[in-house]
């Protein structure tokens, strides 16, 4: 689909100024951080321009030129500002080495349509840079939290020691806090007790109902669907308020059972949605064939239908689990101190005295979500394979 455009080397008058402009841009930041923005722009432009010319016209051998730039910039960085600048220098060196040859050889043209004007090519790459920036915005908070959780100090920013990769700047003490504090461990234990029970409830009720909903003739299907999905639609604070009022009337407020019921209700829409989605592609003739061969409905369900919809059921269960495991608003109102879950403890920590232990907990939770994401993705592919669709 992507058109292959023949590429050719570009004239010096084009790529040296372009590289110089990029250098000026980088120089602006380095310059302002060192005191003078204007000087930074000029020096950056000169260095990048000269470098582009030297690499492409004098050295010419691409691997040597690029490695040489990386090492050279790294050494200069080390001499100027120690270890952090070494890393920064190596990155700059790699970038400008690559950038010079990318421009010089005209490689930037290789993957875009041949009829584009230079302005359109420029826009094409600008657009990609913007998208990259947005994706970085999406991922940065998670990336920042992880290294900060190894901070040896009780600060929420990178200390000079951390930036110079000094082992003294890093420690596991926040993790130690987490594993030895009784408040955190109690919260983990509560979460571990509540989430599976809620998941079990929502998965068993939800799967049954999803099978019922996917029958051919269901009276009031839309109304029933609307009611079953409603816990996902209604803002959590309203659910929490309603449950708090109602559960205190019937004596469930502040009990383990109350929290489990509330979380099960919140998880049910996810189970319904994933399982009905799996059942859409389910071939009804399979159950008829099983019945034809003498299997009763229960056997048919467990031996024929269940194995086929199992991926959907499991991923619905994972959604329900994570809903309960992450939920804080409802448990804040429906639960009492005895049901303090992990998110609740984090919420208290964030609202009152924020301690870096939260970052350690956050990192652990990110690890858990990565595992869950992987499992769900694998299940989705398996389910599509089972139903004869191509994974994609």
Partner 1 sequence: MSDTVDATNTPGEKSGPVLAADGTPLKRSLRRALRRQKMSALLLIAPLLIFILITFIAPIADMLFRSVENEIVQDTLPRTTAILETWDSESGSIPDAPVFKALYQDIFIAQERKLHTRLGSRLNYELTGASSLFRKSGRGVGDIGEVYQDQFEDMNAFWKKGENWNDILGSDAWLAEIKSWKKSSGQAQPPFELRADIAEILPETAAFYKIFADFTQNEKNSNLYKKDPWELIYSSFYDDLTGANAARIDTYTGPGAAELSEAKTAAASFETVDYKVAFGDIDKDWVKMPIWDTIRAYSPRFTNGYFLNAVDMQKSEDGPELRPENQRIYYTLFMRTLFMSSVITISCILLGYPVGWILANLPARTANLLMILVLLPFWTSLLVRTSAWKVMLQQQGVVNDTLVWLGIVADDSRLALINNQTGTIIAMTHILLPFMILPLYSVMQTIPPSYLRAAKSLGATNWTAFWRVYFPQSVPGIGAGSILVFILSIGYYITPEIVGGTTGTFISNRIAYHISSSLNWGLAAALGAILLAVVLGLYYAYDKIVGIDNVKLGG
- Contact positions with partner 1 (CB under 8 A) in 56-85: none
Q: Which of 6, 63, 114, 249 binds partner 1 (CB under 8 A)?
A: 249
Of residues 251 through 280, those in contact with partner 1 by CB under 8 A are 261-262, 264-265, 268, 270, 273-274, 276-277
- How far, in Å, CA of 45 to CA of 20, rounded? 4
352-to-3, 152, 342, 355, 359 alpha-carbon distances in Å: 57, 22, 15, 9, 15
Q: How far is CA 160 from the centre of its chain?
A: 28
User: In the bound complex, what is the minimum distance in angstroms from residue 305's beta carbon to partner 1?
Assistant: 12
Q: Which of 23, 49, 93, 206 binds partner 1 (CB under 8 A)?
A: 206
User: In the bound complex, what is the minimum distance in angstroms from residue 73's beta carbon to partner 1?
Assistant: 19
Nearer to partner 1, 61 or 126 (CB): 126
Q: Which of 55, 228, 259, 308 binds partner 1 (CB under 8 A)?
A: 228
- How far, in Å, CA of 279 to CA of 301, rounded? 13
User: In the bound complex, what is the minimum distance in angstroms from residue 56's beta carbon to partner 1?
Assistant: 28
Of residues 14 through 43, those in contact with partner 1 by CB under 8 A are 29, 32-33, 35, 37
User: In the bound complex, what is the minimum distance in angstroms from residue 258's beta carbon to partner 1?
Assistant: 9
Question: What letter would DSSP give residue 303?
Answer: I
Of residues 120 through 149, those in contact with partner 1 by CB under 8 A are 120, 123, 127-128, 130-131, 134-135, 137-142, 144-145, 148
Q: Is 285 a residue that touches partner 1 (CB under 8 A)?
A: no
Asked if 300 contacts 307 with a C-beta cutoff of 8 angstroms, the reply is no
Q: Is 236 a residue that touches partner 1 (CB under 8 A)?
A: yes
Rg (CA), the chain: 29
Sign of the C-alpha dihedral, residues 45, 49, 52, 55? Answer: negative
Number of other CB atoms surrounding residue 130 within 10 Å = 10
Q: Which of 241, 304, 310, 386 binds partner 1 (CB under 8 A)?
A: 241
User: In the bound complex, what is the minimum distance in angstroms from residue 57's beta carbon to partner 1?
Assistant: 33
377-to-18, 191, 280, 307, 363 alpha-carbon distances in Å: 42, 24, 19, 18, 21
Q: Which of 14, 125, 155, 302 binds partner 1 (CB under 8 A)?
A: 155
Phi-psi group of 155: left, alpha or beta (phi > 0 → left; psi -120 to 50 → alpha; rest → beta): beta
Of residues 101 through 120, those in contact with partner 1 by CB under 8 A are 120
């Amino acid at each position: 689909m992507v058109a292959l455009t023949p590429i050719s080397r570009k004239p010096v008058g084009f790529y040296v100024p372009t590289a110089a402009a990029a250098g000026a841009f980088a120089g602006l930041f380095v310059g302002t951080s060192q005191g003078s923005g204007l000087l930074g722009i000029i020096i950056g432009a000169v260095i990048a321009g000269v470098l582009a010319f030297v690499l492409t016209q004098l050295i010419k051998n691409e691997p040597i030129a690029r490695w040489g730039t990386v090492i050279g910039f790294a050494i200069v960085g080390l001499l100027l500002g120690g270890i952090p600048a070494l890393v920064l220098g190596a990155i700059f060196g790699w970038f400008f080495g690559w950038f010079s040859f990318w421009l010089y050889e005209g490689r930037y043209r290789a993957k875009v349509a041949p009829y584009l004007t230079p302005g359109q090519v420029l826009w094409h790459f600008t657009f990609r840079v913007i998208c990259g920036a947005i994706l970085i915005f999406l991922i940065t908070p998670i990336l920042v939290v992880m290294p900060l959780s190894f901070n040896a100090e009780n600060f929420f920013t990178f200390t000079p020691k951390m930036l110079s990769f000094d082992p003294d700047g890093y420690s596991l003490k926040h993790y130690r806090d987490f594993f030895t504090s009784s408040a955190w461990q109690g919260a983990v234990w509560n979460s571990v007790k509540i989430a599976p029970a809620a998941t079990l409830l929502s998965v068993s009720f939800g799967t049954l109902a999803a099978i019922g909903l996917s029958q051919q003739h269901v009276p009031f299907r839309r109304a029933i669907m609307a009611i079953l999905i409603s816990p996902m639609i209604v803002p959590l604070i309203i659910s929490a308020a309603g449950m708090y009022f109602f559960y205190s009337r019937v004596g469930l407020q502040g009990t383990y059972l109350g929290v489990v019921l509330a979380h099960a209700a919140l998880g049910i829409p996810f189970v319904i949605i994933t399982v009905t989605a799996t059942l859409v592609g389910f071939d009804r003739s399979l159950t008829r064939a099983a019945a034809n061969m003498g299997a009763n409905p229960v056997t048919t369900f467990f031996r024929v239908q269940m194995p086929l919809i199992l991926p959907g059921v499991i991923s619905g269960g994972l959604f329900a689990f994570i809903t309960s495991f992450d939920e804080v608003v409802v448990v804040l109102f429906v639960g009492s101190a005895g049901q303090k879950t992990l998110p609740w403890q984090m919420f208290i920590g964030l609202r009152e005295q924020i301690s870096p232990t939260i970052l350690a907990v956050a990192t652990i939770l990110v690890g858990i979500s990565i595992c869950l994401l992987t499992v769900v993705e694998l299940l989705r592919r398996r389910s599509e394979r089972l139903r004869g669709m191509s994974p994609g």
